[in-house]
Structure 1
Amino acid sequence: MFARLTPVVKNLLLVNIALLLIPSILNIDLGELFGLRYVFAESFAPYQFITYMFLHANFGHLLGNMFALFIFGPMLERFWGAQRFFLFYMVTGVGAGLLYGIVDFVEMQQLESAAQAYIANPNYEAFNSFINNHASYAFEQWYDFIDAFGENPDSQQYISSSIQRVQEVVRFQGNMPLVGASGAVFGILFAFGFLFPNTQLMLLIPPIPIKAKYLVTFYGLYELYAGIQRAPGDNVAHWAHLGGMLIAFILLKIWQDKRNNFY
């Protein structure tokens, strides 16, 4: 099975696996330094647009991305050659990070504006609304506080504590690093469906055949829907996935591949 691996795909697999296993063994969190941060965060650095794509949150995260690279990467590397394939991988990964950074900037501006509006006029109803709209993940852990605040809406102690919690949400959101090769992997998925649209693939769940072009279309539409409708507690970087697909499309157009040679 591993004989099908091409050089760049093999090396990418090894690097990504090593950067998950070695820090785990040494008890080092590389994501704190090399994960992609909000551009105005104190810990942001430009190199993070590159380094983030070689780190993963856990084994399941790594497995999903590397499995897709293992399945779709070798055929593209054989088609393009090692140099162009590696360029494609890096450009789509960085481009995905840039698009995510733009969306993250807009969302953080909205969050900071909402926080400033609350601090200017703190009250129980506004706090409850802020948490529901911007930090639903914290609702359960702060349930007792929210309940007590509701029973004592005029308490300066609860009002002051609520302001601190709103500021905590802003700090938490602004310092949450993005990690993972998903942007580059979704670029590879898009390229595969674009270059080999009628290739039959077999899904794992459910085990049914599907043409590559339909699989890519489904993933693209799903990521767009999930990005716009962002469910509470959803920490998947849907806009990074879409960014990888968008950059892939642009690159493919620039390279002007002849579709008459595809199958």
Structure 2
Amino acid sequence: MTDQAYNPANYCYRHPDRQSFILCQRCGRTICTECQTPAAVGVHCPECVREQRAQFTANRRATGPSGFTVARRRFAMLDQKATVVIIAVSVAIWLLDQVSGRFFTQLLGYNAYYLPTQPWRMVTSLFVHSGFLHILFNMWAVFIFGRMLENMLGTWRFLALYFLSGLGGSMAVTLLAPTTSVVGASGAIFGLFAAFFMLQRSLGSNAVSLLVIMGLNLVIGFLPGTNISWQAHVGGIAVGFLTGYVFSKTRNVRQRGLQIALLVGEAVLIIALTIVGYVLALA
């Protein structure tokens, strides 16, 4: 930990010894993972949950719950649901890819050549992996860091971080290696590393060890014969740092509009730089 002054806004209001970045979506108070309850959007603190349950009980007595309402509430109560869905979809696509003769690699993989007609490959390539070890290590990283970040940020912010970082990886490939074909979630994962570092620093934690690990993994991509797209790693890290910085500076509930605008601005910048890289590749 650093020596900075204690700031109660960075600690759970029910457990003052626990740092947290997540805020109750209703009242804006800081809560830890033990105190948070997943909601349809973000998480709620115990007091807000009690108020909602009391209101729900009153409404249920009057009208009774619909099947859709019950199903939606059950899904909302799943912990780290976005992380689970990302892993499940990635594994399913990898298994289908194995039995279809690499059909999904050809269908969803990214190459700058496809940009004018199939730009969605910048995102779909995140769910395709080249081999067992590739998907094993990538999904392990998503499982570890995805759960932590989804708890800290909430589902929708986590998804924004994941996919913006993935787009950043595709952007860097277009700028630095436009003829290269790439698959895998590595760009998004390096973005998770970088954002987690930024968030930990904003909370006053010493995250230098994470920076070292990220640097070592980045260096591995430069070794000859590894067949790793270091360009995607660099792009993911750059976007992860930027997104983590945005989250750390727009933490207040009142800044939600500004936060969304900055994230949209990031997406626009990534797309613009990708177009620039494609145009330069044709020149």
Identify the residue that residue 252 of structure 1 maps to in structure 2: 244
Distance 2:113 2:102 in 1: 24
Contact kept, 8 Å, 2:199 with 2:245, in 1: the verdict is no
Counterpart pick for 2:109 among 25, 32, 35: 35
Q: Deviations over 1:100-146 (max 9, x none)?
A: 211103xxxxxxxxxxxxxxxxxxxxxxxxxxxxxxxxxxxxxxxxx
Q: Does 1:63 align with 2:136?
A: yes
Relative contact order (C-alpha < 8 Å, sep 6+): which is higher?
A: 1
Structure 1 residues 5 and 70, CA gap change in structure 2 (3 angstroms): farther
Shift of 1:43: 10
Distance 1:82 1:42 in 2: 29
Identify the residue that residue 191 of structure 2 maps to in structure 1: 187
Contact kept, 8 Å, 1:69 with 1:185, in 2: the verdict is yes
Kindly report which structure 2 residues correspond to 1:104-183, keeping only aligned pairs within 5 A, or say none. 104-105=177-178, 174=179, 177-183=181-187
Q: Secondary structure in 2 aligned to 1:256?
A: helix
Q: Does 1:21 align with 2:25?
A: no
The amino acid of 2:244's aligned partner reads L
Is the radius of gyration larger for structure 1 or structure 2? Answer: 1
Contact kept, 8 Å, 1:97 with 1:240, in 2: the verdict is yes
Distance 2:230 2:115 in 1: 24
Identify the residue that residue 173 of structure 2 maps to in structure 1: 100
The percent of aligned pairs where both chains have the same amino acid is 31
Contact kept, 8 Å, 2:198 with 2:248, in 1: the verdict is no
Distance 2:117 2:110 in 1: 7
Distance 2:197 2:246 in 1: 17
Distance 2:198 2:234 in 1: 15
- TM-score, normalising length: structure 2: 0.54
Shift of 1:5: 5.3
Distance 2:160 2:202 in 1: 25
Structure 1 residues 11 and 35, CA gap change in structure 2 (3 angstroms): same
Distance 2:235 2:102 in 1: 29
Counterpart pick for 1:217 among 185, 209, 212: 212
Q: Does 1:232 align with 2:227?
A: no
The amino acid of 1:245's aligned partner reads I
Structure 1 residues 220 and 11, CA gap change in structure 2 (3 angstroms): same
Shift of 1:256: 3.5
Shift of 1:33: 2.4
- TM-score, normalising length: structure 1: 0.58
Contact kept, 8 Å, 1:92 with 1:243, in 2: the verdict is yes
Distance 2:166 2:175 in 1: 15
Contact kept, 8 Å, 1:194 with 1:213, in 2: the verdict is no
Q: Secondary structure in 1 aligned to 2:227?
A: coil
